[in-house]
Amino acid sequence: MFHTTMCCAPAVVDTGFGAVGSFVAGAMNGALALRLGGEIGVATFDLFGFGSQVAANPAAFGFTDVANACGAV
């Protein structure tokens, strides 16, 4: 599943398309949930929740910079 984490990625935020990324991710998740609902063997992972944890405490995950896009430093 995609999630709104992509709207928070520095590379997306820097372009100003965070809202578009959030919309696209939400639409994709809705379509996937509708199509895959009830399928045996399909599991989802909360990447947004994980990404939020990393952004809130980057050092705990080995990151030093979660604000700048790769190559921006």
Identity at 57, one-letter amino acid code: N
Quote the distance between the C-alpha of residue 72 and its chain's center.
Answer: 20
Show me where the domains of the chain are located: 5-61
In tens, the pLDDT along 28-66 reads: 888 888 888 777 887 777 777 787 788 889 999 999 888
3-class SS of residue 12: helix
Calpha distance 25→57 (Å, rounded): 24
Calpha distance 28→44 (Å, rounded): 13
Q: Quick one: pLDDT band at residue 72, thresholds 50, 70, 90?
A: low
In tens, the pLDDT along 15-24 reads: 777 778 778 8
